[in-house]
């Protein structure tokens, strides 16, 4: 049974757990791939109408088109893991339980165009929200670019190979222990793990 927003989960550690409400930057069932209204994205000039620019992933996030914004996602699947919030401390804890829509092999959403129909509290990642979402993985391209850092060499836009994310140990593939429909709410704290919030050693550069 999936937790509802504001619904209490079993006691654990210092206090009870609950699924965080995504709008205030806490944990959620899953995180939606970056989406913004088209009007908030800049439009790239057509080829030949401007001087050669650096690759779009080196441009400020505010300058990206919607398609470019979407391509920044490395497909690691970490943000699509269930998260729990300690009701006493507000701390966010990641689990190894995947959103019901996450394809555990590809680590991509299984029904991205209609995801909010099945996961209503799937979070819309926007440029404005980046600074207020504390549970994004440190390897996340949106986080790195928001901090002014370059994309890592294993990112598909750099490597040209989507499998480089898995080889670097960044992907959730092979580390997911269950889907959320297969785990009782009371058992979710048993799946709390540290790795979703850490840099894998192989991914450092």
- The full set of domain ranges for the chain reads 8-38+56-199
The string of pLDDT tens digits covering residues 122-147 is: 988 999 999 899 999 999 999 999 99
Q: What is the mean pLDDT of residues 70-79?
A: 96
With residue 94 as reference, give the H or E element that holds it: strand 92-98
pTM: 0.75
Answer yes or no: are the C-beta atoms of 185 and 2 closer than 8 Å: yes
The string of pLDDT tens digits covering residues 157-178 is: 999 999 999 999 999 999 999 9
The C-alpha angle with vertex 61 and arms to 45 and 75, in degrees rounded to 5, equals 105
Q: What is the largest CA-CA distance in the chain?
A: 61
What is the spatial distance between Cα 184 and Cα 92, in angstroms, rounded to a whole number?
19
Helix (H/G/I), strand (E/B), else coil: 167: helix
């Amino acid at each position: 049974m999936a937790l509802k927003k504001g619904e209490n989960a079993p006691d654990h550690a210092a206090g009870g757990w609950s699924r965080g409400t995504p709008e205030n930057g806490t944990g959620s069932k899953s995180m939606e791939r970056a989406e913004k209204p088209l009007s908030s994205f800049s439009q790239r000039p057509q080829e030949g109408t401007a001087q050669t620019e650096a690759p779009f992933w080196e441009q400020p996030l505010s300058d990206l088109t919607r398609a470019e914004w979407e391509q920044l996602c490395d497909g690691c699947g970490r943000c699509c893991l269930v998260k729990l919030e300690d009701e006493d401390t507000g701390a966010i804890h990641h689990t190894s339980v995947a959103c019901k829509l996450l394809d555990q092999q590809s680590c991509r959403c299984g029904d991205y165009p209609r995801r909010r129909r099945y996961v209503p509290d799937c979070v819309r990642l926007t440029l404005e929200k980046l600074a207020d979402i504390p549970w994004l993985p440190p390897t996340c391209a949106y986080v790195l670019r928001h901090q002014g850092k370059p994309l890592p060499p294993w990112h598909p836009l750099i490597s040209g190979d989507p499998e480089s994310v898995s080889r670097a140990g960044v992907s959730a593939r092979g580390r997911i222990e269950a889907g959320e429909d297969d785990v009782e709410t009371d058992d979710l704290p048993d799946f709390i793990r540290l790795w979703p919030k850490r840099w894998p050693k192989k991914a450092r550069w």
